[in-house]
Amino acid sequence: MRKQRIDIVRVAVPSPLRRYFDYLPPSGTALAIIKPGMRVKVPFGRQSLVALVSDITQHTTIARNKLRRITKIIDDTPMIGSHEMKLARWAAEYYQHAPGEVYAAFLPLSLRRGAPAEMPKTLCYALTPSGKSLAPSTLQRAPRQQALLERLAGAKKPLAISELAEVGGSWREALRRLIDKGWVQRLACDSTTEKTLPTESAPKLNDAQQYAVDSMRDRESDFSATLLDGITGSGKTEVYLSCIEHVAAMQRQTLVLLPEIGLTPQAVARYRQRLGQGVHTYHSELSEKDRLATWLAARNGTAKVIIGTRSAVFLPLAQPGLIVIDEEHDTSFKQQDGFRYSARDLAVVRAQQADIPVLLGSATPSFESLENVRQNRYHAMYLPERAGAAVHPTLRILDVRSRPMPGGISDLLADRIRYHLDNGGQVLLFLNRRGYAPVLTCHHCGWIAECQRCDARMTLHRGARLLVCHHCGKLQPEPAQCPSCDKPSLEPMGKGTERIEEQLSKAFPGVELARIDRDSTRRKGELERLLQAVHTGKTRLLVGTQMLAKGHDFPGVSLVGIINADQGLFGLDFRASERLAQLIVQVAGRAGRAEKPGEVLIQTHHPEHPLLRQLVAHGYAEFAKAGLEERRLAGMPPYSALALFRAESTKSAAPSAFLQQVAHRFRSDEELEVLGPATAPMARRAGHVRAQLLLRSTRRAHLNRVLAERVAELEGLPSARGVRWSLDVDPLELF
């Protein structure tokens, strides 16, 4: 189509299509008042949607009479600033994802729906004039009411409900009475976090910490990426805190990204205790109101520190000064569906665009980051010693071949558990499989409980008397007898956390025991309750999944047992061994944090496995060196760039037919390796047939360019109809 010069507003519409859409400005509106980053209302098909202005341009390929008009300009000023717009454009291009969905990630839900960008109000309470003039003795016989009055009289500002709740008892009833009597009034206040003052001061940093802090200060005013490689308990968090204090003193903001599970109330409390006011949080458990409040406080600069999970990487920042990514190796920084981005990688790009430092910390850095250090793209700093008095735990392999192993616990491990319990220690056992047993089979006829919708076995959850498919969520009552031969000879095979718990309660009767996994912590507050019981020392024996591996301090734990390392030794994925090593080291890091020396025991049937030996004998750094060499030989990341197409459909031939056509479009490129299409490792899931296609190139920039040229046109392929497909750039998992 011939190009023509007219005023066009290019818009990112929340749709899965990989393109921007062109509109005319509302009639009678001067183009000059429309700015990139503003929200507008546009007609889209038969809908009316809230969209974001991306550009103002004079060029379009759409015929003038086909162009529709923006119906409304929602904002007077851009909702997303130019820095965030730049990041959004970069991300849409790099991940080849629909711009509308990428831009949407930069806004909290209420703003995406068109709500005004105003600080949400919450109820708060203050004394009325007559309340203020009350004689102190008036309420002598109503102690709760008196306590509330005293609190309100002592405060310089209206108090939030949470602050009044601290009075305890039947405070709600007392408050209602005070309002009825006309002594207390309800007001609408800004819902910002309460202003708390720091209650703890920094410990004196050790030399390694001080060196790390000093080098960060030397680089405070430009972009740089630094890997803080420090063993668990070496004081990385103290380094972050010290850097953050300095950045805040320059009136600049710090964004701290933590793994999902790491954002516990304890972690946030530690930042609050040290930094006081201006610490805000941003994660999926927050109410929409609180998310909006943090978003606005980040944008206007009153939030000096924002601690959040991966989606916080999209927060607007008025005066960015530093980005910290704690546990940078953690897979939860990668979004695994929809807009598949890596918050860690985007954070580095963002720091680069904003020209500020980014600090990545881990005890078990990802192979990618280690390679970046080797290439001198990242600085590296090391904290090799545990802070304070704690000693490093020792790792030992337990060869469990032909040992008695009732319920998954070898006699060797049981002996050590007993020893540590007898000596006042706590014991933590780790198994990355929840439920009772991963397989339920019939001893008589060989029947196996399989999911009807997936190529997978059902996991037995004995406590709930259910068979559960961990892939599609299908539930079924636990059968009393074999559905195939009707004999009562069903037997669970293999072990999950429930079964280990059962065995422990048999072997160590009377010892306080807890299980921490997704099932046992479903109820809100339950995880905190269980963790608290570990901290107070009430719980002596603890079994759990990877939920235990992250972020928690268990100073009383003196023994850590890895129930089954073999699961990770023979994983399908090329990252399986990296993950296993990270897990072992992270779980091991929970032990012996205080004065008690820790012991870590790893049960395996493959004691000679080179990975395990390397890790146990020489530690994570040496293991990673060997692992990276393997990657180099195999031409896998970080020595190549990958992009994975996934497709699924209820029609069995459709996914591979579509991916054949996709493959065809990329095969002509000589710098690109096209692997597949192949059926996915789990060929059927939730009733859908699945296939995938992998692209690999030794040059990332090349892969990105080719994707940018060819992905959008795939949407129009006839074979794409009836197929759900996605593109995953830098996939973490190849299935």
**Contact positions toward ligand ADP, by CB under 6 A?**
203-206, 209, 230, 232-238, 387-388
Q: Which of residues 445-464 bind Zn ion (CB under 5 A)?
A: 445, 447, 451, 453-454
Distance in Å, CB of 378 to ligand ADP, minimum: 18
Question: From ligand ADP, Zn ion, none, which one binds at residue 471 (CB under 5 to 8 Å depending on kind)?
Answer: Zn ion
- The nearer residue to ligand ADP, 54 or 237, going by C-beta atoms, is 237
CB closer to Zn ion, 559 vs 691: 691
- Partner whose binding site includes residue 235, from ligand ADP, Zn ion, none (CB under 5 to 8 Å by kind): ligand ADP
Residue type, 189: C
CB of 230 to ligand ADP, least distance (A): 5
Of 234 and 253, which CB lies nearer to ligand ADP in the complex structure?
234
Query: What is the smallest separation between the CB atom of 239 and ligand ADP, expressed in angstroms?
Result: 7
Backbone angles phi, psi at 412, to 5 degrees: -60, -50
Q: Which does 483 bind (CB under 5 to 8 A by kind): ligand ADP, Zn ion, none?
A: none
Residue 246 in tokens: 């300095």
Query: What distance in Å separates the CA atoms of residue 511 and residue 595, rounded to the nearest whole number?
Result: 23
Q: Closest CB to ligand ADP among 230 and 308? A: 230
* 2: phi then psi, degrees, rounded to nearest 5: -70, 140
* Minimum separation from the CB atom of position 521 to ligand ADP (A): 22
Distance from CA of residue 237 to its chain's centroid?
18
Q: What is the smallest separation between the CB atom of 203 and ligand ADP, expressed in angstroms?
A: 4
- Interaction of residue 470 with Zn ion, rule CB under 5 A: no
**Nearest to ligand ADP of 206, 352 (CB atom):** 206
CB of 366 to ligand ADP, least distance (A): 17
Identify any residues that bridge with 641 across adjacent strands, giving them in sequence order: 697
Q: Which amino acid is at 138?
A: T
Q: Residue 447 binds which entry of Zn ion, ligand ADP, none, with Cβ cut-offs from 5 to 8 Å by kind?
A: Zn ion
For residue 442, the minimal CB distance to Zn ion (Å) is: 3
For Zn ion, the closer of residues 406 and 488 by Cβ is 488
Q: Give CA–CA dist 77/316, Å, rounded.
A: 14
Cβ atoms of residues 307 and 128 within 8 Å? no
Which one, 474 or 518, has the nearer CB to Zn ion? 474
- Picked from Zn ion, ligand ADP, none, the partner binding residue 442 (CB below 5 to 8 A depending on kind) is Zn ion
Nearer to ligand ADP, 141 or 204 (CB): 204
Whichever of 95 and 447 has its CB closer to Zn ion, that residue is 447
Q: Which is nearer to ligand ADP, 73 or 241 (CB)?
A: 241
- φ and ψ at 577, to 5 degrees? -70, -35
| 448 DSSP assignment | B
Cβ density class 121-147: b for 16+ within 10 Å, e for less: ebebbbbbeebeebeeeebeeeebbbb
Identify which of 234, 392, 243, 391 has the alpha carbon closest to the alpha carbon of residue 324: 243
User: Minimum CB separation from Zn ion for residue 467, in Å?
Assistant: 10
How near is the Cβ of 692 to ligand ADP at its closest, in Å? 37
Task: Give the shortest CB-264-to-ligand ADP separation in angstroms.
Answer: 13
Smallest CA-to-CA distance from 432 within 562, 601, 329 is with 562
What is the rounded CA–CA span in Å between residue 274 and residue 502?
41
Residue bearing tokens 């509109």: 23
From the list ligand ADP, Zn ion, none, which binds 387 (C-beta under 5 to 8 Å, kind-based)? ligand ADP
Buried b vs exposed e over 5-35: b needs ≥16 C-beta within 10 Å?
eeebbbbbbbbeebebbbbbbeeebeeeebe
Residue 451 interacts with, from Zn ion, ligand ADP, none (CB under 5-8 Å by kind) = Zn ion
Least distance to ligand ADP from the beta carbon of 514, Å?
Answer: 22
Cis amide linkage into residue 638, ω under 30° from 0: yes
Amino acid at 313: V
Nearest to 316 by CA among 332, 297, 335, 329: 297
Phi and psi torsions of 275, nearest 5°? -105, -15
Question: Which of residues 265 and 687 has its CB atom nearest to Zn ion in the complex?
Answer: 687
Decide which of ligand ADP, Zn ion, none touches 469; Cβ closer than 5 to 8 Å per partner kind.
Answer: Zn ion
The binder of 388, among Zn ion, ligand ADP, none, by C-beta within 5 to 8 A per type, is: ligand ADP
* 598 and 393 Cβ atoms separated by less than 8 Å: yes
Provide, rounded to whole angstroms, the least separation between the CB of residue 360 and ligand ADP: 13
CA triple 200-201-206, angle to 5 deg: 130
Supply the minimum distance, in Å, between the C-beta of residue 445 and Zn ion: 3
Which of Zn ion, ligand ADP, none sits in contact with 215, Cβ below 5 to 8 A by type?
none
Q: Which is nearer to ligand ADP, 233 or 393 (CB)?
A: 233
Residue 370: CB atoms within 10 A of its CB come to 24
Of 23 and 620, which has the nearer Cβ to ligand ADP?
620
Q: Is 634 in the site for Zn ion (CB under 5 A)?
A: no
Q: How far apart are CA 346 and CA 395, in angstroms?
A: 35
Consecutive H or E run containing 411: helix 411-422
454 binds, among ligand ADP, Zn ion, none (CB under 5 to 8 A by kind): Zn ion
CB count in 10 Å sphere of residue 580: 23
Q: Please, which residue, 442 or 527, has the CB nearer to Zn ion?
A: 442
Question: Rule CB under 5 A: which of 387-446 touch Zn ion?
Answer: 442, 444-445
Per rule CB under 5 A, is residue 471 in the interface with Zn ion? Answer: yes
Residue 455 is given by DSSP the state: S
| 472 binds, options ligand ADP, Zn ion, none, Cβ within 5 to 8 A by partner type | Zn ion
# of chain residues touching Zn ion (CB under 5 A): 14
Select the binding partner of residue 232 from Zn ion, ligand ADP, none (C-beta < 5 to 8 A, by kind): ligand ADP
| Residue 289 interacting with Zn ion (CB under 5 A) | no
b vs e for 691-712, b when ≥16 Cβ sit within 10 Å of the residue's Cβ? bbbbbbbeebeebbebbeeebe
Q: In the complex, what is the shortest distance from the CB of residue 573 to Zn ion, in angstroms, rounded to a whole number? A: 20
**253-257: strand order across its sheet:** 279-282, 305-308, 253-257, 320-326, 357-362, 224-230, 379-383
Residue 472 in contact with Zn ion, rule: CB under 5 A = yes
Strand partners, 228: 361, 381
Contact 118, 149 (CB under 8 A): no
Task: Determine if 485 is a binding residue for Zn ion (CB under 5 A).
Answer: yes
Give the span between the Cα atoms of 449 and 458, in whole angstroms: 6
d(Cα 340, Cα 346) in Å, to the nearest integer? 11
Residue placing its CB nearer to Zn ion in the complex, 190 or 733: 733
- What backbone phi and psi angles, to 5 degrees, belong to 102? -70, -50
Q: How far is the CB of 685 from Zn ion (least distance, A)?
A: 7
Out of Zn ion, ligand ADP, none, which partner does residue 203 contact, by CB within 5 to 8 A per kind?
ligand ADP
What is the binding site for Zn ion (CB under 5 A)?
442, 444-445, 447, 451, 453-454, 469, 471-472, 474, 482, 484-485
